[in-house]
Amino acid sequence: MKPGIPKGTRDFSPEEMIRRNHVFHTIQNVYRKFGYVQIETPAMENLTTLEGKYGDEGDKLLFRILNSGEPFQKLSKPAPEVRTSEVSEKGLRYDLTVPFARYVVMHQNEITFPFKRFQIQPVWRADRPQKGRYREFYQCDADVIGSNSLLNEVELVRIIIEVFKSLGIQISVRLNNRKILAGLAELIGEPEKIIDITVAIDKLEKIGREKVVEELLNKGLSKDAVQKLQPVFDMGGDNDTILASLERMLKDSETGMKGIFEMNFILDTLKDVYPNDIVPVVDVTLARGLNYYTGSIIEVKVDDSRSEFSSSICGGGRYDDLTGIFGLPGVSGVGISFGADRICDVLEEIGAFPDFSNISTRILFVNFGQAEARHCLKIVSALRDKGIYAELYPDEAKMKKQMSYADSRKIPFVALVGTEEMKSRKITVKNMEDGSQSSLSIDDLVAKLG
Amino acid sequence: MKPGIPKGTRDFSPEEMIRRNHVFHTIQNVYRKFGYVQIETPAMENLTTLEGKYGDEGDKLLFRILNSGEPFQKLSKPAPEVRTSEVSEKGLRYDLTVPFARYVVMHQNEITFPFKRFQIQPVWRADRPQKGRYREFYQCDADVIGSNSLLNEVELVRIIIEVFKSLGIQISVRLNNRKILAGLAELIGEPEKIIDITVAIDKLEKIGREKVVEELLNKGLSKDAVQKLQPVFDMGGDNDTILASLERMLKDSETGMKGIFEMNFILDTLKDVYPNDIVPVVDVTLARGLNYYTGSIIEVKVDDSRSEFSSSICGGGRYDDLTGIFGLPGVSGVGISFGADRICDVLEEIGAFPDFSNISTRILFVNFGQAEARHCLKIVSALRDKGIYAELYPDEAKMKKQMSYADSRKIPFVALVGTEEMKSRKITVKNMEDGSQSSLSIDDLVAKLG
């Protein structure tokens, strides 16, 4: 009888909603300012749209919806032989990127390219729930599709910096480029091993050089090839030093040099246009979503002395052919995604949520009885007309109960209007913080709360 | 290969999103002003929470989610004998009321009552899709739980009036009370036939008196009983006339008289506190969701000469025991729900959407090449810092293409900054509506667009 909710899902209380909305609004206001326009897609997609897009592991994590009617009745086989595809045609959205690609292909004739869209919606994954990982969570994506210009990358980095500045979180941005990784794989004569190489390099910080070398050898790289990667392990210093050293290594790789050019373009433009912004750090070990990205790769981490949070809170990159899977090849895209849940966790941790008192009730009128209530409702209505959030306690309850309602709702002022105040047309206002009382006219009250 | 979306679902384009957001924001701003606080619940609920709450028909319309893993493998029976409950434990939210009741019971120790909550989220129903009816649609609910005061009904009516005033839709509000209907059923000696009676009376306007009488006789009412209902068929005139005639009929029914008292209280308070508002119309034929409501019943229809829309766009009522099904009995609630999709349709029909140009890009900078682009990005950045939505076209494309991008995005101004403008530090601004051009400084431009 005790009701519950499915594991990995959450209810959001009024206090949590205010905080979450703050994060969503901040992100979406910056997106809008940069000319991104919002779309929404259905929670349910056809499984033909979703399947095969997230790897075998992803297919297993899709939430599938049972067909309506009597899906089992038409099947003449033992139950264990039933395949899910025989009873399920739809699944819940797993991310926002695949539905976006599907959207672009379906609506290609209505869309003007480049199409700068943002989308903030929940996604569902049948992951094993654990701390900070949910089965329903929001993604906040922005992508530009149909433009090869690196200025899009520049603007996306600027969006990231502006969002976190608005939120009050100090961050570091890391930048890599798939073409540099491809160049390195070429350099050591193992171009087809780019994924293995990057996955290994990605662990450098975590497991150390020796283990990385071991892993590379296990993956079938020759000692000679691993030796050639040595400079990558030693790479350090500022962006210019790293890029110079990469340039020496990759001078014979057209792809690699293209990657370095792109990186330089983005960094130079950022420095020129936004001289006061933090500068992304070049990091060849950044591999994030490599199967998918074809150019720039961006990752953002918290870099705030008040936070112990170390995982990524935003990331993105360029993919050269997003819509090809749905029959529209050769359309390049670049995008980023903010992890709203994690950002909320960080803001909580560092105490950086702003004061929200202006968007909740400012004053509660105590209900002393029918005549007083009507009188108060008129004042409440006048306050609301001035944009002030006000409430009348609906029931003629005990004073203590009404005051504790104000208290638990964190309403800063309580108005007491009895027969005397009705006659004098004044309002006795109690400050809930310091307990002080004052007698005010409506105009005074508007001035005080406005 | 051609991608599609499940029937009854929709993609929302940027233009549609702006319109929908306008409706959602209007509703939620009014809710907030009246002290309602927002919650959200998960899209998925346990089927034990959902099943049996919407009648047999509702159970059939639930979208059920297949359990993860291999739900069929453990079953040793023929497929046609599989029951959905053996392979599915979760379903998609069917409305916002049942999840809200579940929320209140689960969080009863954190909640201060009366709890005034609003919730704006999509719901899913496996209904047969048809014009204006979707399988995924938004509900916008506000409910007060834990207060018997009729002032809640008063405020909900006021919320309705304020929302539609803000939206610019003329409406009529109808009011009924389940207790009056119960009184009528008592009066004619058929208290247990209240549902049949109300369902029949509800059709009066549509099918006429003769057919209603026929239906009542078919439902097993005596001729004598039907005869006693006669005054209801003839009821007309203003609220006072109707209530007086009901009072004559129901003077011996305690329940009926209670209903009349409630109606009078609500109408009198509304008239006193909001003398300039439209007045709800008493309508004893209003039966909306009767199984469910125990007191006031509210329904809103469009009453606008510009609209041919006749169905309900908002409604609600009081229910005495919402959370009893989840083990918390005796908690009264009253609420309303706005039909956001239908409201959008009406606003479209009557052309009452406001001008949204201030929340989309105001000016596009043409991209003439790398040096110009950088220069423009700095101006764009300065404009954005002033809160002006500005864009630089990312690619160095043909002029015609860039202009047609501005055109299709309905961007009102285009900025042309070539080498000459870079030298003179001026911006040539073209008005896209009348084609006129002017040469402005940044400050002039800010003043023009700000």
Which tens digit of pLDDT belongs to each residue from A56-87?
889 999 999 999 988 998 898 999 999 999 99
Give me the percent of chain B exceeding a pLDDT of 70: 99
- Please check the confidence at residue B92 and state whether its pLDDT lies above 90: yes
Q: Using 50, 70 and 90 to split pLDDT, how confident is the model at A236?
A: confident
* Distances in whole angstroms, Cα of residue B439 to Cα of each of A16, B387, B417, B427, B442: 49, 21, 10, 5, 10
Query: Which tokens sit at A145?
Result: 């599709």
Distance from CA of B326 to the nearest CA of A (A): 6
Chain B contact probe: residue of A84, A89, A377, A388 with most B CBs at under 10 A: A377
| For residue B206, pLDDT beyond 90 | no
Nearest to B64 among A2, A65, A106 (CB): A65
- Mean pLDDT along residues B24-29: 97
Is the confidence at residue A161, as pLDDT, over 80?
A: yes
What is residue B416's predicted lDDT score, i.e. its pLDDT? 97
- The packing angle between helices B239-250 and B254-273, to 10°, is 160
Residue pair B93/B45 in contact by the 8 Å Cβ criterion:
yes
pLDDT at B177: 96
- Band (pLDDT 50/70/90 cuts) for residue A322 is confident
pLDDT tier, B231 (very low <50, low <70, confident <90, very high otherwise): confident
A252: pLDDT strictly greater than 90: yes
Q: What is the mean pLDDT of chain A?
A: 93
Per-residue pLDDT, averaged over A95-101, amounts to 95
pLDDT of residue A290: 59
Query: Is the separation of the CB atoms in B100 and A3 below 8 Å?
Result: no
CB contacts < 8 A (A, B): 288
Please give the torsion angle defined by the CA atoms of residues A322, A324, A329 and A334, in that order, rounded to the nearest 10 degrees. 0
Pairing state of beta strands A390-392 and B413-416? unpaired
Q: Which of A94-108, A287-301, B297-311 has the lowest mean pLDDT?
A: A287-301
| Mean pLDDT lowest among A210-224, A341-355, A388-402, B200-214 | B200-214
- Runs of H (alpha helix) within A219-253: 223-228, 230-234, 239-250
Which of A43, A64, A273 has its CB closest to that of B136?
A43
pLDDT at site B425? 94
Q: Quick one: CA torsion of A144, A148, A151, A155, rounded to 10 degrees?
A: 20
Residues, chain B: 450
Nearby residues of B398 by Cβ (< 8 Å), 6 or more positions away: none
**Residue A233 Cα, gap to closest chain B Cα (Å):** 35
Nearest residue to B126 (alpha-carbon basis) of B113, B114, B111, B137: B137
User: Looking at the predicted structure, is the pLDDT value of residue A442 above 70?
Assistant: yes
Task: Write down the number of H helices and E strands in chain B.
Answer: 18, 16
Place of tokens 């003043």: B447
Question: Taking 80 as the threshold, does the pLDDT of residue B296 lie above it?
Answer: yes
* Cα–Cα dist B116/B159, whole Å: 13
Statement: residue A289 has pLDDT above 70: no
Measure A56 CA to nearest chain B CA, in Å: 13
Average pLDDT over residues A265-274: 97
Neighbouring-strand partners of residue A336: A142, A316
Burial class (CB in 10 A: 0-12, 13-18, 19+), B354: exposed
DSSP percent split of chain A into helix, strand, coil, nearest 5: 45, 20, 35
Q: What Rg do the C-alpha atoms of chain A give, in angstroms?
A: 29
Angstrom CA distances, A118 to A35, A100, A143, B136, B384, stand at 10, 10, 7, 21, 18
CB spacing of A18 vs B38 below 8 angstroms: yes
Distance CA B361, CA B406 (A): 9
Domains and CATH numbers, chain B: 1-43+93-170+304-354 (3.30.930.10), 178-296 (no CATH), 357-449 (3.40.50.800)
Q: What pLDDT sits at residue B289?
A: 63
| Phi, psi of B9, deg, nearest 5 | -110, 165
Chain B contact set for A38 (CB, 8 A): 14, 17-18, 21
Q: Does B78 touch chain A (CB under 8 A)?
A: yes
Which positions in chain A touch B82 (Cβ < 8 Å)? 72, 79, 82
Nearest CB to A389; choose among B33, B78, B395: B33
What is the mean pLDDT of the segment spanning A118-131? 93
Token pair, residue A302, equals 């918290």
| B231 contacts B200 by C-beta, under 8 angstroms | no
Return the pLDDT at B263: 98
- Tokens read off for B428: 């040539």
Which of B348, B337, B256 is closest to B299 using CA atoms? B337
Could you give the angle at the alpha carbon of B29 between the alpha carbons of B23 and B31, nearest 5°?
A: 105
Question: What is the Cα gyration radius of chain B?
Answer: 29
**Helices and strands counted in chain A (H then E):** 19, 16
Q: Which of residues 248-307 of B touch A (CB under 8 A)?
A: 269, 272-274
pLDDT for B127 beyond 80: yes
The pLDDT assigned to A231 comes to 86
The chain-wide mean pLDDT, for chain B, equals 94
What pLDDT, on the 0 to 100 scale, is given for residue B131? Answer: 82
